Amino acid sequence: MSEAAWRVIAREGLDRASMRAIAQEMDCTTGVVTHYFRNKQELILFALHQVTERLRGQMDVAITNLSGVDRLVAMLLSFLPLDQTRQEILQVWVAFLGYAVGRQDLMVEHRHSAGELRKVVIQELAALQKQQIIRSDIDPAIEANVLLALVNGISLDTLIQSQPLDSKQQKIALQRYVSGLLNH
Amino acid sequence: MSEAAWRVIAREGLDRASMRAIAQEMDCTTGVVTHYFRNKQELILFALHQVTERLRGQMDVAITNLSGVDRLVAMLLSFLPLDQTRQEILQVWVAFLGYAVGRQDLMVEHRHSAGELRKVVIQELAALQKQQIIRSDIDPAIEANVLLALVNGISLDTLIQSQPLDSKQQKIALQRYVSGLLNH
DNA sequence: AGTTTATCACAACAGTTGTTATATTCATTG
DNA sequence: CAATGAATATAACAACTGTTGTGATAAACT
């Protein structure tokens, strides 16, 4: 069920992910869809929460058994659309963001989602700073924004540029920026 | 006319920028709208071209009488949503991008638009490299993507973070990254 | 002057949308 | 077996969408 909704959104965008389109995707009638999602609003919010959960999942897997800078880099790399799974996540993420323009309630929800990930990055930066791995003149709260901005920007690059960075170049760009935060 | 369309899109998003909504904004009937935009497709593409034009305009003003690194930095800063005008541009830009998910033709158009700006940045980087102002191990074509990624990411930051970077922090982040590209 | 052209109003179209209500099937449990 | 409730189907609703056509008016031009 939720898989079908996810697929339609990733493939067609949010405005064309109608109740009927999702019903058709799972080869049933709209009765099923309305039974699980009372509103279209609920459906849309579900998509956003899926984005957050999946990103968190990707991240948790990526950073296990890592520490130090490697851990930070792995964390940030896990957000990049390096495989088809994460490209789908990006599609839904962008679709939601565009759909939230002019809908303040949805934008607030999106900010909550982004805030969760930001918190994790801040903690990681603070920890690395305590270990004196990254420079002491860095404000974790601010640097988290910049790091996420770079990650989001690189992700968007794959969508909006006709000659986007390939996966190797994406990694290098991120790695190089992070290395500029280190001590020495 | 085009002003009204622009306002509605920035305020309500693309899917709710219906012919009738735009007509109401300019206090007339749909006859006027259909007379100037044959399709909704044309209306949407108009919005995108407006984004490109306005960004170019902002940029051209920002870089006049500048040279060297200042010119590059000013160019990049001109893309940031530092005032209300550019915040509106960002809104429309994001709305279009989300609307283009699942609509390949629109995404292609968006890539053309992004490609134009990318070309300018590449040229600028190449020029600075020739003057030996920026490092020689930098590939202008790749670095343009990274720079634009950072700019776009910082722009999005103002939309999706509940504690976004303020304008001063945005400038510092960008300036600091650019200074990492310089010789010595 | 007369003729064409741009501008706008208005109405109607066919289709799609979210939502709701009602009916039916199905399974689980008492 | 009966019964309760979830799961699914079906149908209808009103509202909205993009689009098209038919005029009316005014402006421009020959």
The pLDDT, as a whole number, for residue A173 is 98
CB contact under 8 A, A114 and B154: no
Number of residues assigned to chain B: 184
In chain A, the percentage of residues whose pLDDT exceeds 90 is 97
Q: Look up the CATH number of the domain holding residue A6.
A: 1.10.10
As a whole number, the mean pLDDT across chain A is 96
Structure tokens at B153: 């990411």
CA B88, CA B81: separation in Å to the nearest integer? 8
- Set of chain A residues whose Cβ sits within 8 Å of the Cβ of B161: 111, 114-115, 118, 145, 148
Q: What is the pLDDT of residues A162-176, one digit of tens each?
A: 999 999 999 999 999
- The minimal CB distance from B152 to the residues A102, A153, A164 is found for A153
For residue B184, tell me if it sits in a domain: no
- pLDDT tens digits along A138-151: 999 999 999 999 99
Same domain? For B147 and B167 the reply is yes
Which residues, 6 or more positions from A28, have their beta carbon under 8 angstroms from its beta carbon? none
Q: How far is CA A137 from CA A64, A95, A126, B148, in A?
A: 28, 37, 12, 26
Asked if residue A123 and residue A53 are part of one domain, the reply reads yes
Residue closest to sugar C1' of D19 by CA = B39
How crowded is the C-beta side of A65, counted as CA atoms within 13 Å? 1
Hey, what are A92's tokens?
């839904």
In a domain, B64, yes or no: yes
The reply to whether the CB atom of residue B35 sits less than 7 A from any atom in nucleic acid chain D is no
The answer to whether position A184 is within a domain reads no
Res B184 pLDDT > 90 = no
Are residue B27 and residue B103 in the same domain, yes or no? Answer: no
Best mutation target, A101, A113, A119, to test chain B (most B CBs within 10 A): A101
- Three-class secondary structure assignment of A125-157: HHHHHHCCCECCCCCHHHHHHHHHHHHHHHHHH
Residue type, A23: A
- % residues pLDDT > 70 (chain A): 100
Identity of the amino acid at A176: R
Judge if A130 and A52 occupy the same domain.
Answer: yes
Number of domains in chain A: 2
pLDDT of residue A184: 80
Beta bridge partners of A134: A182
- At B120 the pLDDT is 97
Does one domain contain both B43 and B11? no
Rounded, the Å distance between the CA of A36 and C1' of C28 is 20
Q: What Å distances lie between residue A108 and A6, A103, B81, B152, CA to CA?
A: 21, 9, 19, 20
Note whether B107 and B100 are within 8 A (CB).
Answer: yes
Q: Which two tokens stand for residue A157?
A: 């690059």
Q: Do A76 and A102 share a structural domain?
A: yes
C-alpha B91/C-alpha B78 separation (Å) is 16
A-chain CB neighbours of B146 within 8 Å are: 154, 165, 173
Same-domain check for residues A45 and A124: yes
Residues 93-112 of B with CB under 8 A from A: 94-103, 107, 110-112
How many Å lie between the alpha carbon of A79 and the closest alpha carbon of chain B?
13
DSSP string, A2-49: HHHHHHHHHHH-STT--HHHHHHHTTS-HHHHHHH-SSHHHHHHHHHH
A1 and A60 housed in the same domain: no
Assess whether B10 and B46 both reside in one domain: no
* pLDDT at residue A137 is higher than 90: yes
Is the residue at A169 inside a domain? yes
User: Quick one: A55 and A121 in the same domain?
Assistant: yes
CA distance A26 to B146: 40
Residue A56 has pLDDT above 90, yes or no: yes
Statement to judge: residues A24 and A87 lie in one domain: no
Token pair for A61:
């897997």
pLDDT at site B1: 80
CATH number for the domain that contains residue A152: 1.10.357.10
- Protein-covered nucleotides of chain C (CB closer than 7 Å) are 7-12, 16-23
Q: Which domain holds residue A1?
A: 1-38
Q: Are residues A150 and A78 in the same domain?
A: yes
B55-112 tens-digit pLDDT: 999 999 999 999 999 999 999 999 999 999 999 999 999 999 999 999 999 999 999 9
Residues 27-46 of A, Cβ under 7 A from nucleic strand D: 28-32, 34-35
* CB distance B88 to B100 below 8 Å: no
Q: Residue B134 gets which letter from DSSP?
A: B
Query: Cβ(A153)–Cβ(B156) under 8 Å?
Result: yes
- Please say whether the beta carbons of B154 and B174 come within 8 A: yes
Phi, then psi, of B55 in degrees rounded to 5:
-60, -45
